[in-house]
Amino acid sequence: MKVFQTLDKSLQRNLLILFTAGLFFWSCMAALLPTLPLYAESIGATKQQIGLVMGSFAIGLLLFRPQLGRMVDQGGRKKVLLLGISIAAIAPVGYTLIKSVPLLMLIRAVHGVSIAAFTTAYSTLVTDFAPAHKRGEIIGYLSLVNPVGMAIGPAVGGFLLFKTGYTLLFLFASLLAILSFICAYAIKSPPVDDMRSPQQSKFDTLAILLSPRVRIPTLVMLMVGLAFGTISTFVPLFIKSLQIDFNPGLFYSFGAITSFSIRLIAGRVSDRIGRGLFITIGIICYCLSMFTLWQADDQLDFILAALIQGTGGGIMIPMLVAMMADRSYPQERGRIFAICVGGFDVGIATAGPTLGLIAESFGYENMFLITGIITLFAIGIFLTNSSKTPAQSIRFALGKGEDAYIIRNP
């Protein structure tokens, strides 16, 4: 990580604090990931209701992310970050008091606002701090908070659930969020002027979404979000249905191992050869993971699927963030990230109820098969539409050409 030695002391300090806050935040979120579907089942939820509960998380994401993106662009990077962490600290306490499916859905929806706020502000702050020529590398390193948190959280969460039950697990998640808040409060956000003119339409967010530099990445994120939502919601239940002696938390931990490892390399290389090839590889990995789960029937199959999915997530998500940073001005980064990652949110929101219905009717195996086919379409869309023409798109997606929408010296 020699890149950090070239930064001044103040910048190094802010990046370290931001990383630590992110690590506590994602550990909090990840500790709940393998246990909430089981908790919903324990209070009497059906497979489809479990999908609705988990999908409700994205309601808060979808409703509030655009507004939070505007708040970030108007100078509220740190405020929005702290808001997201605060909700993450409060929501698990609510889970300890909930014993009905409708109320659980409500708390999950509120909890979703925390992800919308944190991820939008965090990505924007990292991009603000990162020099343009080292952007991919720094985003890759700072995005390590996700796989590290995913490696720690589910394993600890699964252990606490087995040893003590749900209540202590939920309170532990709140404690992690409180530690994240303490760290984030010490960050000194860099000043960014709001350069929007008064004549700009109040529908500028829609205009950004419809622009070709944002539209296709958002669609791809939606389709990959379906795959991620399927994994985060139904893998623990699928493992249980097969009666395999395998801690579901370990599935996410194994994925985090490859996600962590690949991020150490991908960001630095993408600064030299571009983001397109890595995004393509990431989508392919999600596709292969879905087909592996379709055929899974023992521990090794689930470990393999986790390792492949972790590779895909470790490559695609930070590289897509870096690509959208390349395509945006500082004064619109909050909205750009909110819109693009909002596609991921829609995928997660859709995965729970729709694919839960498929699982109810046709089984988990066929549900993963359908999701794999959807990610195949995502590969084709990115290969042919990621740039201004199909030929340019193919070259960019295969690492043979530059991003046609890149903004120089933003």
Domains along the chain with CATH numbers: 8-189+203-397 (1.20.1250.20)
155-181 pLDDT, tens per residue?
Answer: 787 788 878 888 888 899 999 999 999
285-335 pLDDT, tens per residue?
Answer: 999 999 999 999 889 999 999 999 999 988 888 888 889 888 888 888 888
Q: Beta-carbon neighbour count of residue 88 at 10 Å?
A: 28
Listed in sequence order, the residues at least 6 apart from 173 whose beta carbon sits closer than 8 Å to its beta carbon are 28, 29, 31, 32, 88, 92, 157
CB 56 within 8 A of CB 112: yes
179-230 pLDDT, tens per residue?
Answer: 999 999 999 877 665 444 333 444 466 777 788 889 999 999 999 999 988 8
- pLDDT band of residue 79 (cuts 50, 70, 90) is very high
Q: Beta-carbon neighbour count of residue 42 at 10 Å?
A: 11
pLDDT of the residue at 198? 38
Q: Beta-carbon neighbour count of residue 179 at 10 Å?
A: 18
